[in-house]
Amino acid sequence: MAMTKGLQLLSEAKDLDASVIEIRRAIHAHPELGLDLPVTQKLILDRLDALGVPATRGATISSVVGHIAGTQPGPTTLLRADMDALALVEETGLPFASAVQGVMHACGHDAHVAMLLGAAELLMAHRHELRGSVILAFQPGEEGAGGARRMLEEGLMQPSPDRSYALHVITNIPSGLIATRGGPMMASADEFLITLTGRGGHASAPHEARDPIPVAAELVLALQVALTRSVNVFDPAVLTVGQIEAGTTFNIIPEVATIRGTFRALSEETRVKVSDLVNRVAGGIAKAHGAEVDVSFPMESYPVTVNDPEGAGRALQLARLLVGPDAVQEMVTPVMGAEDFSYLLQVSPGAMIFLGVAPPGVDDPAPNHSNRMLVDEAALHRGVALYALLALAD
C-alpha cells in the first residue's frame, strides 16, 4: 500500500515540475538575506492562499506557517523549508540569475521553498487520506541568524509536533539520491573573534613596539596543534581561521590584529571543550608575547543536528518505497556543516534529509555556498514527493 502510494505521489509530483521549477527560479532571481524576506514571504503566502492552505506570518520575522488538517485523527507532522540566501555575487550565467547585486541563493533554499510548496499542493489533493495534520514551516534566517530559534520563540512548536522533517539539496552527491542517518547528522557551529592588542610603531624598530602580527601568526598554528592534542579523534572537531586583519601599510607595525574563525563539533561535550581551548590558547600565546587579548563568540551558535534514529529510519524506508533502494543511502558519517534545524529536532523527533542535485555531465560540481552552484532541477520532484509522503504515511 505504502509503495503504491509512493509511486503515485512521485508521478503526481513529476506532473508539478513546471510549477515547482517556476517558483524556484522566481525565488532564485530575487534572493533576500537574513530574517526580513518580504518578497519571498509574499510569494509563499500568495501560493498557499491559492491552494486554500491557511497560513500565518511571523510577528517579528518573515516566517510563514501553513496548516493542513486531515480528515482523520493522527499525528502532527512538521515539514520545514528555509528561505534565505547568501551574500555572494552570482557567477552561474543562468537566465534567471540573481537580480540583486551581491546576494545569491547559493545553498539551495530556493529549491527547498519550491519543493515544500509543491508538497503542499500534493497534500491538499490527498487531504481526504491525511491522518492528523501538517505544519508547513517556511523559515528565514538559517544562514547564521537563528531563524529556527526565533520561530520557536514565536510558538512554532506549541504544542510540539509528533515528528519533524527537513530536506536539504546537496550538489556533491548524485542527482536524485536521498541520504540521511540516525544520530548526529550535522555539526554544531560556533564563530570566534580574537582581538590582539600590542603597541604600534615603525617597522624598522620592532623592539620599540609590540607587534601583534607574529602573535596572531603563532596563535593560528597553535590552535590547530592544540585541537589535535585535545579532542578525541572518535568525537571529532574542526577549527578553521577564515579571516586575519592587521595593519594599514607595509612599514608600520599596527597596534591591533584580529583573528576570526569557526569551529564545528559533533557532541556538546566536544563543543564546550573546543570553546575552552580557544580561550586558553589565545590567552597563553598573548601573555607569552606581552599582548592583550579579548576572545568573543559573536555569531548565533547552532547546536549539533541530531536525527532521531527512528525518524531517520522511517525516512529511509519511505524513500526506498518512493525511488527504489539504489537511489537511497544510509550515511556512514555525519557532515561538518551546520543547520539550525537542530533547534527543532531538540523539541520534536525527526530527521534532516539530503537530496542530491549534482548537475548532470559536470565532473566536479560547485559545492553549496559557491557563487557558481548549480541545481539539477530534474531531481526536485523527488523532494516534493518525499515531503508529502513523510506526512501521509503511517
**pLDDT at 301 exceeding the cut of 90:** no
Bridge partners of residue 294, in order along the sequence: 195
> 42: Cβ–Cβ under 8 A, 6 or more apart, which residues?
none
Closest CA to 61 of 101, 33, 87: 33
Whether residue 245 is predicted with pLDDT greater than 60 in this model: the reply is: yes
- pLDDT by residue (tens digit) across 188-209? 999 999 999 999 999 999 999 9
Angle at 194 between CA 192 and CA 198, to 5 degrees: 175
Q: What pTM, to 2 d.p., does this model score?
A: 0.92
> Taking the mean position of all CA atoms in its chain, how far away is CA 271?
18
**What integer best gives the mean pLDDT of the chain?**
96
Q: What is the spatial distance between Cα 58 and Cα 98, in angstroms, rounded to a whole number?
A: 25
Q: Retrieve residue 14's grid coordinates.
A: 513529476
Catalytic-residue membership of 302 = yes
Pairing of strands 305-307, 252-253: unpaired
The angle, 0 to 180 degrees and rounded to 10, between the axes of the packed helices 2-15 and 17-29 is 60
Distance CA 164, CA 371 (A): 30
Alpha helix stretches (DSSP H) within 30-65:
38-51
List of E strands, the chain:
55-57, 64-69, 72-82, 131-139, 163-170, 178-180, 183-187, 190-197, 201-202, 237-246, 252-253, 256-265, 292-296, 305-307, 328-330, 335-338, 350-356
pLDDT at 299 over 80: no
CATH class of 190-296: alpha beta
| Opening angle at CA 95, ends 91 and 96, nearest 5 | 85
SS3 264: strand
Set 302, 339, 343, 387: catalytic member = 302
- The secondary structure of residue 86, as a DSSP letter, is B
pLDDT at position 222: 97
Q: Are 215 and 257 in contact (CB under 8 A)?
A: yes
- Entry field: residues in the chain: 394
Encoded amino acid at 140, one letter: P
Do residues 83 and 139 make contact, with C-beta atoms less than 8 angstroms apart? yes
Residue 319, pLDDT > 80, answer yes
Q: What pLDDT does residue 79 have?
A: 98
Cell readout for 385 is 514527493
**Domain(s) of CATH 3.40.630.10: residues in the chain:** 2-184+303-392
Give 139's contacts (C-beta < 8 A, 6+ positions apart): 63, 80, 81, 82, 83, 147, 148, 151
CA 112 – CA 119 distance, rounded (Å): 10
Per-residue pLDDT for 11 more than 70? yes
The string over 341-353, giving b where at least 16 C-beta atoms fall within 10 Å of a residue's C-beta and e elsewhere, is bbbbbebbbbbbb
At residue 1, the pLDDT reads: 47
Separation between Cα atoms, residue 315 and residue 183, nearest integer Å: 13
Burial class (CB in 10 A: 0-12, 13-18, 19+), 19: middle
146 φψ region: left (φ > 0), alpha (ψ -120 to 50), beta (else)? left
pLDDT at 118: 98
Q: Is the peptide bond before 159 cis (omega within 30 degrees of 0)?
A: yes
Mean pLDDT over residues 234-253, rounded? 96
Each residue's pLDDT tens digit, 105-129: 999 999 999 999 999 999 999 999 9
Distance of CA 23 to the CA centre of its chain: 20
Under CATH, which architecture does the 2-184+303-392 domain have? 3-Layer(aba) Sandwich (3.40)
* H and E: helices and strands count for the chain: 10, 17
Scanning the structure block, which residue is given the C-alpha cell 500568495? 46
| Average pLDDT rounded to a whole number, residues 207-224 | 97
Q: Quick one: average pLDDT of 43-55?
A: 98
- Which pLDDT does position 3 carry in this prediction? 64
pLDDT at 276 over 60: yes
3-state secondary structure of 171: coil
- How far apart, in Å, do the first and last CA atoms of the chain sit? 11
